[in-house]
Amino acid sequence: MQNMTDKTVAVVKGLIMDGVAKANSGHPGGAMSSADFATILFSEFLRFNPDDPSWFNRDRFILSAGHESMLLYGLLHLNGFISMDDIKNFRQLGSLTPGHPEVHLTPGVEATTGPLGQGFAMSVGFAAAEAHLRARLGEEAMNHFTYALASDGDLQEPIALGAAALAGLWNLGKLVVFYDSNKIQLAGPTCKADCTDHKKVFEGLCWQVIEVDGHDHEAIRAALNAARDEADKPTLIIGHTVMAKGCATLEGSHKTHGEPLKADEIAATKKKLGLPDEAFHVPADVLDAYRARFDSLRSEAALWQTRVDAKLDEDADFAALWAHATRPRPELSIKWPAFTPGESMATRQAWGKCLDAVSGSLPTLVGGSADLDPSNQTMTFRTTYGDFGVDGHKARNLAFGVREFPMAAIMNGMQLHGGLLPFGATFLTFSDYCRNAIRMSALQDLPVLYVFTHDSFWVGEDGPTHQPIEHVSSLRLIPDLIDLRPADANETAVCLDIALKQPRHPSCLFLTRQGLPVLDPAEYPSIVEGPRRGAYVLQDCEGEPDLIIIASGSEVSLALATARLFKRKVRVVSMPSAKLFDDQPESYKNEVLPPQVTPRAAAEAGRTGLWHKYVGRDGVVLGLDHFGASAPGKTLSDNYGFTPENFARMIREKYEELT
């Protein structure tokens, strides 16, 4: 006679087959091979509130193998978080069950996954956030596990190993990853593409590694208990499984990875699994057994709330930190430092001064640099607050090492967890390494802060490998990503305020290596609030301008100097953020850039193409559409024509009426 766990696993597999078949699209094989582990985890181990999928102290489960989404949806249905109609609308327009899990759509989904390896890395971010908050708030308020389910493909992506190295170093003992090692991927057996001994690799990365038969329920339970007993090391449970386990004739076939099973195969498989030949079958006894512990889960969540409420009343320090951890970002109150007008200061240096000035009043601000602490101006933050993991879990600096992609994905996980304000820094040219995780920040509505220094050819002698050309323009193509390229120290502070108070959009801060003059707010009063609208009139003229010069970042000072070379009426517009300006009402955009004023020019030390959106098809753009060279920054600036005299010459050649 079939026991209840076997029956529940069979029902979950039936939902997987039926959902994929009805959609005529999806990935049944891996979901079926992972079903034993995931069903036992959800039904016996996972702590959550059946009435509140967003309960703060819940265990987190991240399906890194996002293509196995029907497995997760089946379990979320048993949790009561989504309906059977949702299951039946798998992969359909407007449904709560898209092809890959999306965090903003579906209750119980913790992260948007699909790009392999990133769910694994995000789970490290979740676990890091939990460890840090537990160390500072206490176990009464924060004490949960982070579980992830990874596939062969996840571990083939190098981001997973980069993140795993940090998880081991950081002693993330409450991170448990189940590796569904079914040894099959879309193109066939994994042996054609991989020979990695993951047990040796992960033990070398300071993980506890447990190998089990991934279909042996008692072995799975024992592995999960052993993982939860290990306080210091993260745990990798390697589950040796069979692709499409339970299928009538296709067990082990790579054809089941990305194709629906045929009707006759589904019927034969259901018979083999002891299921009736009906679609979307969930019997009452399975549902009752699965939900038998729900009352105790509710009681645990209520008891947690009682403990937190008592601590809020009794402990002022806890209450203050709790307020920071739970306060909506737009409500943050931040006092930024003042800067001396006329002083020469790189905007990366201004960022460092801002960070040092506000980090004490923003206790949940955490982050670090990809091994560029002095260059990224995070060294004082690091020495003040210590290195997370190495100096304990209360430390606030994250020493990511040379791991830009894992850094970005880990920040996404920390932001998804909640309670912290994460930032990460590197050179702008290395944003390419971060790019897909940045895209995932935007896709998941995560207000993560990316700090990119050394933003142009002014990097100088390091040469073209380190001199970004296309990067700012390229990042501006990502929907819902806020680009912030400040003109001076004052704009840098405003841009940081914009980024940290964002409720949902990630921000990229583009900062100079070279010194720029600090503009005087008394002379340019619009600099105080103007950046919040993306672009604003920095310097104006009497009446309607004859010429509008637009610039971002380091080229704003160049624009001001160029304007002084004309005896005509010139308006200078600073545009730190094209995204924020584009989002403004048409009336404001026309106020800043009057449509009837067609003589326009723009300057930015990067690709020119996107600027024609603002200056017109025939407008003048001073930029760079080729790679740089190894030479001092000033030499390159002169050589590439980034001088007031050359910029003015280009404008006069185009608009003869301005001569």
Sequence ranges of the domains in the chain: 4-296, 329-517, 531-658
Q: Please report the pLDDT score of residue 657 as a whole number.
A: 84
Which pLDDT score is estimated for 29?
Answer: 97
Annotated binding site: 27, 67, 114-116, 152-153, 182, 184, 257, 348, 375, 430, 454, 462, 466, 513
Q: H helices of 1-117, where?
A: 4-23, 28-33, 35-40, 69-79, 84-88
Q: How does residue 446 score in pLDDT terms, banded at 50, 70 and 90?
A: very high
Contact 151, 29 (CB under 8 A): no
Cα 485 to Cα 603: distance, rounded to the nearest angstrom: 12
Instruction: Quote the pLDDT of residue 656.
Output: 86
Q: Which residues are annotated as a binding site for thiamine diphosphate?
A: 67, 114-116, 153, 182, 257, 430
DSSP 233-283: S-EEEEEE--TTTT-SS-TT-GGGSSSPPPHHHHHHHHHHHT--SSTT---
**Active site members:** 404
Stretch 567-584: mean pLDDT? 97
DSSP string across 443-473: HTT---EEEEE--SGGG-TT-TTT--SSHHH
Is the pLDDT at 658 greater than 90? The verdict is: no
pLDDT of residue 203: 98
Predicted confidence at residue 1, as pLDDT, reads 52
Question: Which tens digit of pLDDT belongs to each residue from 232-289?
Answer: 999 999 999 999 999 999 999 999 999 999 999 999 999 999 999 999 999 999 999 9
Query: Domain 4-296's class?
Result: alpha beta
Tokens standing for residue 177: 């990853």
H runs (alpha helix) in 386-533: 404-417, 431-443, 471-476, 489-500
329-517 shares the fold of 4-296: yes
Is a pLDDT exceeding 90 seen at residue 659? no
Provide the CB-side half-sphere exposure for 93 (13 A, CA).
0
Strands 344-345 and 516-517: antiparallel
Annotated binding site for Mg(2+): 152, 182, 184
Q: Taking 70 as the threshold, does the pLDDT of residue 345 lie above it?
A: yes
Residue 520: its pLDDT value, please? 98
Residue 513 CB contacts under 8 Å (≥ 6 apart), including other chains: 346, 348, 375, 453, 454, 455, 458, 459, 460, 633
Report the sign of the C-alpha dihedral through residues 586, 529, 492, 520, in that order: positive
Instruction: Return the pLDDT at 62.
Output: 98
Distance between CA atoms of residues 63 and 48, nearest Å: 16
- Distance, in Å, from the CA atom of 124 to the CA atom of 470, rounded to the nearest integer, reads 31
User: Residue 386 is which amino acid?
Assistant: G
Rounded Cα distance between 129 and 217, Å, is 31
Q: Average pLDDT, whole number, for the chain?
A: 97
Which whole number is the average pLDDT over 214-228?
Answer: 98
User: Distance between alpha carbon 173 and the CA centroid of its chain, in Å?
Assistant: 23
pTM of the shown model: 0.98
CATH topology of domain 329-517: Rossmann fold (3.40.50)
Per the document, the length of the chain is 659
Residues making up the binding site for substrate: 27, 257, 348, 375, 454, 462, 466, 513
Three-class SS of residue 600?
strand
Q: Above pLDDT 70, what percent of the chain? A: 100
CATH architecture of 531-658: 3-Layer(aba) Sandwich (3.40)
Residue 59: pLDDT over 60: yes
Residue 82: how many other CB atoms lie within 10 Å: 24
Kindly state the tokens that stand for 422. Answer: 């994460």
